[in-house]
Amino acid sequence: MDIFAGRSTASTRDHFFTVPLDYADPDGEKITLYAREVMSSYYRHRPGFLLFLQGGPGIEAERPVKFDGWLGTALQEYKVVLLDQRGTGRSTPANRQTLALRGDSEEQAKYLANFRADSIVKDAEYIRRQMVGSDEPWSILGQSYGGFCAVTYLSYASEGLRAAYISGGLPALDADAVDLYKAAYPRVEKKNIEYYRAHPGDIQKVREVIEYLDSHHVRMPGGFPLTARGFQSLGRNFGYPGGFETMHYMLEEAFVRGATGVELSDRFLEWARDGISFAKNPLYAIMHELIYAQGSKTDWAAERALREFPRFSYENALEGSSPVLFTGEMIYPWMFDQDPALRPLRDAAEILASYTDWPALYDAKQLAANEVPVAAIIYREDMYVDCGYSEQTARSISSARAKTTDQYDHEGLRQSDGLIMKKLIGMLRPEAPEAVAHVPFSHRATA
């Protein structure tokens, strides 16, 4: 299929694979995986494959519509494989509709326990053997959570890798989930300060919305309730390009005068619903804290960590004169009570939060002996992945070259018009200066 009609620059090929749900039981239940292979018409002679590991968790690979950015750069070197990680996109889906077929909450939780990075890496290895060959390694590119998966790959299946590129996705190797969220809340608060500095008039507008929500029972289209805490959770987009502006424009049209007086407008409520609902990617909410679990339960770590940050309490803000702070990408148990897409999965999520025997996702000894070339970009102002932990992990991976930049935030791979991808490739090919973009980096984490 030619996806760039009239330009003949790239084509795609669909691949479907049948793999075990649980690789410890290879003869047991099977699920389907989908991968889209993208090839450049100009560079078909290049034999190498690059597997793109999408951020998330629980989000399908991007659907290319243009031959530019990081993808266009990568296609000059590789055939790119866009994998819909298990449970997402065109792979066997995991959502309230499909999970209802599995039985009670215990069975649902047992099923979902197979959807972490260790299983994703085993999926990738199965696909590699089918697409490339058992003895032929490929390269990987991990964005955000995809970088976490890449480090798991380096830990347990490095023989399948020729090179690993990571953008905004070097995980902490052994930090507790609560500690990670304790490190995250100050980063989120800093983004709030930047937002209000850019739009000082929004301080009062946000207070007015919060005051209204705190004193009224508001429902968004489809009957979805909008609460003050729900509105605060829209801050999860503050770490992405345009996140501040989206909130600002949303607030411009927050209120309208209706038959009963001033009320929140339908336009505002629909905007809020689209930003709050997990209907498109419920697995993101279910699995989010579990990506940090190694040997101990998560037990709603973000909610527990929040107790040490009373500045995020909207009640405290309303009692005083402080701006109301938005929260980040944290997942809270109350979301499973309010969101119709999550409500049927509340008990399964509770069971998963109480699991204590999660296997390790990273092998520090193996990473210290790693021989696979690794290039990683760390974003100093990343709201989602802690820069300090990332730099520490970079120093723990042998053969890794990592650089920290102030120029881009978490989405630098997509935001930089291909420059970050060029930089990553160039970091492993210093003899090819044409591949190295002139992106300023303020600190080298390791060399």
Q: What are the catalytic residues?
A: 144, 357, 410
| Residue 262, strand partner residues | 257
Contact 195, 242 (CB under 8 A): no
DSSP H or E stretch at residue 304: helix 301-306
The two structure tokens encoding residue 292: 């940090």
The two structure tokens encoding residue 11: 């084509």
The two structure tokens encoding residue 239: 């770490």
Residue 199, CA atoms < 13 Å, CB-side half-sphere: 19
State whether residue 417 is helix, strand or coil: coil
What does the DSSP assignment read for 150-192?
HHHHHHH-GGGEEEEEEES----SS--HHHHHHHHHHHHHHHH
40: phi then psi, degrees, rounded to nearest 5: -85, 135
Q: Can you tell me the distance from the alpha carbon of 158 to that of 281, in angstroms, rounded to the nearest whole number?
A: 29
In 270-292, which positions are buried (b, 16+ CB within 10 angstroms) versus exposed (e)? ebbbebbbbbebbbbbbbbbbbb
Q: Can you tell me the distance from the alpha carbon of 42 to that of 189, in angstroms, rounded to the nearest whole number?
A: 46
Who's near 47: CB < 8 A, 6+ residues apart? none
Q: Can you tell me the distance from the alpha carbon of 285 to that of 291, in angstroms, rounded to the nearest whole number?
A: 11
